[in-house]
Structure 1
C-alpha cells in the first residue's frame, strides 16, 4: 500500500481552545488509516517574531519547512473566531509558498455556534487557492464543538465515523493524484 504524508495543522494558539480536543480525536482516528502518515503541527509551538513574517523566516522553522516540502496534502483544523480564521494560521502559511503548490488541503472547521466554522473555511479557501492548492470535499465540520468532542478527545456523536471516512477518502485520492501530477509534470 502506497502511503501519503498528510500533516495536521492545529491552526490556533488561543487558551481554552476546543480545536485541541478535535486534534486529539483526529490524530487518534488517523492511526486507523495505515495509508496515511501524519504529524501534528500546533500553532502554539510557533514562536513567530512580532515584526518579521513571510518567507524570510522559514529557516527558523526547519521541521515545518521540511514536512511541508515532503507533504502530499494537509489537514487544517480551523476554528472560527468572529467569522474568520486565526491570524497565526495565516502567518504559518505565509512563511512558505512554493512548498504548498499542487497539494491538497482538507478543511476541518469548528465553532461553539451552529455553523461549525464554515464562515472561517469560506474565508480560507481563496487564500489556499492563491497557494495553488486544491481543497478537498467534503469539509469536516463541528458545530457546537463543546458538545461533540470532550476535552480528552472523545467524540460524543457516532456519525463522525462516516463523516471522517468520506473526508479522508477524498483527501487521500487528491493527495495521490496531485503527487502523481507533481512527479510527471
Structure 2
C-alpha cells in the first residue's frame, strides 16, 4: 500500500533555501516505494494569516484557499516539514498553515527536516512539536537536522547531503511508513464507529 506523503516547505523568504533542501529530501523520499510524494510550498500556496470567521474545528470554511488547503491536508497520510530556524523558532508561515485546520491533521505522523547554523534547526523542531502534538499528530523523534547547511549547497545551487544526512533521512522515512500504516488503520477503525 502506498501512503500519501506531503512535504511542506515552511520558509517564504525571497532568499530562502527551503526549496533546495526539500528537493534533496524529495528525491530520497521518492526512492521509498511506500510513498506517493507531493511537495507543498507555502510561498506558492500563499495562505493569508488566518481569516476564517469560525473556529477550524467546525470545518465551516468560507474561503476557497481554506477549502483547498483542507482538501490537500485531509488526503495526506504523512507529513514532513522542511523548516529553517528563525531566532530559536520556526517561521510564522508554518504556524499559520497548522492553525488553519484541526481535524485534517489528526492521527497522522509528522517528520521534520530542519536546517540552520550550529543547532541545525533543532530548536525550531522542538518548538513545532507542541502545536503538532496539540493537533493530534504524532511528531517523530527521528529527524533530519542539518547544521551549517550552506556547506552542502554546491556551486550549481543544489543541496548534496552527506552519508549521515542520507542515513537519517532514510531512517525517518522508514519510521514514517510504520506510523503512517498504524495511524491510517486507527483512522479507518474510528470511521467505522
Q: With the length of structure 1 as denominator, give the TM-score of the two structures.
A: 0.90
Give the equivalent residue in structure 1 for 2:33: 34
Structure 1 residues 32-71: aligned runs within 5 Å: 32-49=31-48, 52=51, 55=56, 56=61, 59-71=64-76
| 1:84 partner SS | coil
Aligned counterpart, 1:11: 10
CA contact (8 A) 1:8 1:75 kept: yes
Give the Cα–Cα distance (whole angstroms) in 2 for the partners of residues 51 and 100 of structure 1.
16
Question: Quick one: distance in 2 between partners of 1:16 and 1:106?
Answer: 24
Deviations 1:146-181 (CA, angstroms, capped at 9, x unpaired)? 112446433142222211111111111001100011
With the length of structure 2 as denominator, give the TM-score of the two structures.
0.87
3-state SS of the aligned residue for 1:98?
coil
Aligned to 2:173: 168
Gaps of 5+ in 2: none
Would you say 1:144 and 2:143 are equivalent positions? Answer: no
What count of residue pairs does the alignment treat as equivalent?
183
Aligned to 2:101: 96
Q: Are the equivalent residues in 2 in contact too, given 1:137–1:170 (CA < 8 A)?
A: no
Return the alpha-carbon distance in structure 2 between the equivalents of residues 121 and 143 of structure 1. 13
| Runs of 5+ consecutive residues of structure 1 not aligned to the other structure | none
Of the structure 1 ranges 160-169 and 97-106, higher mean CA displacement relative to structure 2 is found in: 160-169
1:166 aligned counterpart, secondary structure? helix
3-state secondary structure, aligned to 1:7: strand
Q: Deviations over 1:103-147 (max 9, x none)?
A: 100011111x11100111111101101101101121111111111
Hey, what's the Cα distance between the residues in 2 that align with 1:36 and 1:80?
Answer: 27
Which aligned segments of 4 or more residues in structure 1 are displaced greater than 6 angstroms? Answer: none
Deviates more, 1:147-156 or 1:79-88: 147-156
Residue in 2 that maps onto 1:114: 118
Distance 1:12 1:160, change over 3 A: same
Residue of structure 1 equivalent to 2:21: 22
> Could you tell me whether the CA contact under 8 Å between 1:58 and 1:65 is conserved in 2?
no
